[in-house]
Amino acid sequence: MATRSKAGSYVESSVRVLKGLEPVKERPGMYTLTCDPLHVIQEVIDNSSDEVLAGFGTRIEVWLHQDQSVTVEDNGRGIPVGLHPTEKQPVVQLVFTSLHAGGKFDKTSGGAYAFSGGLHGVGVSVTNALSSRMEVVVWRDGLESRITFRDGFVDEPLSSRKSPRRKSETGTRVTAWPDPKYFDTAVIPVPRLTALLRSKAVLMPGCEVIFHDEIAGTDQRWLYEGGLGEYLASEMAFEPAVPRFEAEGFAGPDSEAFSEGEGASWVAAWTEEGPLVRESYVNLIPTPSGGTHEAGLKDGLFQAMKNFIDAHQLAVKGVKLLPEDVFSRVSFVLSCKMLDPQFQGQTKDRLTSRDALKLVSTFVAPQFEFWLNDHVEDGKKLAELVIHQAQRRQSAAPKIDRKKSSSVAVLPGKLTDCESSDTSRTELYLVEGDSAGGSAKVGRDKEFQAVLPLRGKILNTWEVDPKRLFASQIIHDIATAIGVNPHGTAAEGDLSHLRYGKICILADADVDGSHIQVLLLTLFFRHFPKLVEEGHVFVAMPPLFRVEVPARGRRPARRIYCLDDRELARTRQKLAKERVKPEDLTVARFKGLGEMSASELGETALNPDTRCLLPISWGEVDKRTTEVVMTMLMGHKEAGARRTWLERYGDMARTDV
């Protein structure tokens, strides 16, 4: 039985308030990647890139020194060094020592950065926090200003002297010594750094990027005039089946749907064999995990190809074309520009802005359709390749009997099944409540999405004997629907009768919904571990808020969904910059999924291109460690341990009261 000592008491002095850069040092993984220091160096490079993107720089020069420190220099405007009007500190000091301080919050046409990857003002301040030393030199207004930091704090205050350069020769030089104690390895991965710098040159035609590797004694220089097409051609191992499709599209001042300057440039090439090259960027920030802008490219290419095949009567009977058939053999480089992009996490690996799908697709679809009809023979050859890919997919798809899930049980009556038998595509949504289940049935894609409404909360199965599981009708229905019997270990699991490739938990975005999520995850972890290990379990994240924006001028009325309070705050800030009055907004908080219409639920939780779906896995710890934590959280006799845990970590929770 867990006991509490007096030393573990929770009193007023137990509450810590982290100030300045302390949160970064305490939890560096929340702000950057900690496998190596490359990402904190990338934050500095991104700042120089944003100067080029804003039209004020033409050169970025990087040095990797013998001691693994890195210097980044640009010929941009130079960081301001005067006193901030309200903070009464030099701006250059404020930028490097304060979280959420930067020039990228002002997205108006007169702002310092209309388009940039920086959103939260935590980039270079994180670099400073995780560096043992940092030195910044600024050339601006005829002065050369210098300031140094140690462990995130000012070491040598700002000092200025007359610049040895001409007054027009402005810029910034930042040298950082990443602190090894915050990273798994202190070594900068040179191949990834080289790839990053080269991609910057590609995305910024006319910008010279220079890299000096003092460790290897080599120098590299990139200056691309050919843009994305030249870069993709140099990276592909095989010649494309048809000529590359390269184009761009950006919103003008009269655009009703998007802000001026928003849009994308892209190049796509199809090959019949070999590895694929796929790179995407948002405001020059690489997004290796893709996101909604890649979904927009995929949708635009598919819509245009489908229209071309229909117009030229190239369809083959019995073959249904899917977006992945068009996208499966395409290599691409996509560079998207958005006024206020939203990323998944501070590392910005994945774009989550729902508007990006429509933004990219709107420009890609008509231009690709025009290209296909302007190159009819190449279009027909590409259509043949796409149709052949669809035939291969259909012949290779694992087939199952949709009328039964096993030899001993029939499917539950509440299950609304899908049409497809391809388990690589099929999805089962476990939905909280009959009301939400009804909306999900209407809003789903019935071809590959099935819905099983759950009534009430299921049993806490952490300490339930597997033989007694089916005493619960809900658990019986879940097991029968997915076609997998309970099993104790992943090795014992038999997924040969698995009926759905994705099992998605869809519950309300409140405390009760979170409780249902935990109970279902407990069931899968304890009694269906093979599903978790093979990556078949997901949690859908429906929005908590809906913001109605009235029509303004040529721009029609809009509806914006926000996942949580933080996204709502960002949306309010973005609309304020668009000069939308707060009193004109209508903000609705969803009390539950049942309040959402079928179209709303379909767009925000079911559509694969716009939903937020979190995969469930063991994460960074092993299964044994996870089991210890789950026992403490879900065990019947662990109340004392749970109380101790809450006293220690409860202040970190985001509560919904």
Domain CATH code at residue 436: 3.40.50.670
- Confidence check: pLDDT of 118 > 80: no
Residue 508 lies in a domain: yes
Tell me what pLDDT residue 216 has: 93
**β-bridge mates for residue 502, sequence order:** 427
Mean local confidence (pLDDT), 240-248:
94
Number of H helices, E strands in the chain: 18, 21
Task: Report the run of H or E that residue 644 belongs to, with start and end.
Answer: helix 639-649
Q: Is the confidence at residue 424, as pLDDT, over 80?
A: yes
pLDDT (0 to 100) of residue 142? 92
* Of the listed ranges 21-35, 184-198, 383-397, the one predicted with least confidence: 21-35
Range of the domain at 214: 22-222
Q: pLDDT band for position 34 (50/70/90)?
A: confident
Same domain, yes or no: 491 and 596: yes
Instruction: Specify the pLDDT at position 404.
Output: 42
Q: Are residues 237 and 372 in the same domain?
A: yes
Domain boundary among 171, 201, 222: 222
What residue ranges in 75-192 does DSSP mark as E strands?
A: 131-140, 143-150, 153-162, 171-178
Asked if 158 contacts 145 with a C-beta cutoff of 8 angstroms, the reply is yes
Assigned domain for 139 exists: yes
Q: Are residues 348 and 456 in the same domain?
A: no
* 630 is a domain residue: no
Given this model, what pLDDT does residue 611 score? 83
**Is 289 found in the same domain as 234?**
yes
Based on the residue annotation, tell me whether 508 is a catalytic residue of this protein: yes
The type of residue at 592 is G
Separation of alpha carbons 301 and 543, rounded Å: 28
Kindly indicate the confidence band of residue 1, based on its pLDDT and cuts at 50, 70 and 90.
very low
Per-residue confidence (pLDDT) for residue 19, from 0 to 100: 58
pLDDT at 398: 60
* pLDDT over 90 (residue 194): yes
Distance CA 37, CA 177 (A): 9
640 domain residue, yes or no: no
Tell me: do 52 and 66 sit in the same domain.
yes
Of 434, 447, 494, 512, the catalytic one is: 512
Asked if the model's pLDDT at residue 173 lies above 70, the reply is yes
- Which of the residue ranges 73-77, 409-413, 488-492 would you say has the lowest mean pLDDT? 409-413
Model confidence pLDDT, tens digit, residues 513-570: 888 999 999 999 989 999 998 999 999 988 888 899 888 766 678 888 888 888 888 7
- Rounded Cα–Cα distance for residues 379 and 371 (Å): 8
Kindly tell me if the per-residue pLDDT of 486 is higher than 80.
Answer: yes
- H-run or E-run covering 505: strand 502-506
Residue 399 has a pLDDT of 55
The pLDDT score that the predictor gives to residue 403 is: 46
- Confirm if 120 and 285 have CB atoms less than 8 A apart: no
Q: Where does the pLDDT of residue 143 fall: very low under 50, low under 70, confident under 90, or very high at 90 and above?
A: very high
**CATH no. for residue 244?**
3.30.230.10
Contact criterion met (CB below 8 Å) for 160 and 81:
yes
CA torsion sign, 140 to 143 to 144 to 149? negative
Same domain? For 192 and 89 the reply is yes
pLDDT of residue 397: 66
Percent of the chain with pLDDT over 70: 88
Higher-pLDDT residue of 408, 31: 31
Q: Do the strands 245-250 and 171-178 form a parallel or antiparallel pair, or are they unpaired?
A: unpaired
Residues 609 and 481 in one domain: yes
- Per the structure block, which two tokens stand in for 364? 């890609």
- Assess whether 126 and 208 both reside in one domain: yes
- Asked whether the predicted pLDDT for residue 27 surpasses 80, the reply is no
Render pLDDT for 609-621 as a digit per residue (tens, 0 to 9): 788 888 888 765 6
Task: Specify if 627 maps to a domain.
Answer: no
Total number of residues shown for the chain: 657
Please tell me which residue in 432, 477, 600, 603 is annotated as part of the active site: 432
Instruction: Note the pLDDT of residue 554.
Output: 65
414 contacts 431 by C-beta, under 8 angstroms: no
pLDDT above 80: residue 622: no
Q: What is the CATH number of the domain that holds 83?
A: 3.30.565.10
Over residues 623-654, the pLDDT tens digits come to 777 778 888 888 887 788 888 877 777 666 55
Q: Are residues 58 and 193 in the same domain?
A: yes
CB 320 within 8 A of CB 374: no
pLDDT of residue 330: 96
pLDDT-wise least confident of 394-403, 456-465, 563-572? 394-403
Contact residues for 22 (Cβ-Cβ < 8 A; gap 6+): none
One domain, residues 200 and 259: no
* Residue 607 pLDDT > 60: yes
Both 317 and 389 in a single domain? yes
Which uninterrupted H or E stretch holds 42? helix 38-53
- Exactly one of 50, 262, 325, 508 is catalytic; name it: 508
Mean pLDDT of the chain: 84
Q: Tell me the mean pLDDT in the region 487-511.
A: 86
Strands 427-432 and 449-454, how do they pair?
A: parallel
Residue 105, pLDDT score: 41
Clarify whether residues 612 and 573 are in a common domain.
Answer: no
Within-domain flag for 119: yes
**Range scoring the smallest mean pLDDT among 242-256, 367-381, 438-452, 641-655:** 641-655
Does residue 160 lie in a domain region?
A: yes
Q: Would you say residue 249 has pLDDT above 70? A: yes
Residue that is last in its domain, among 193, 222, 251: 222
CA distance 225 to 227: 6
pLDDT band at 6, cuts 50/70/90? Answer: very low
306/309 Cα distance (integer angstroms): 5
624 falls within a domain: no
Query: Domain boundary residue among 222, 241, 274?
Result: 222
Which residue is associated with the tokens 């019935």? 446
d(CA 20, CA 381): 59
Q: What is the pLDDT of residue 121?
A: 37
Q: Number of folded domains in the chain?
A: 4
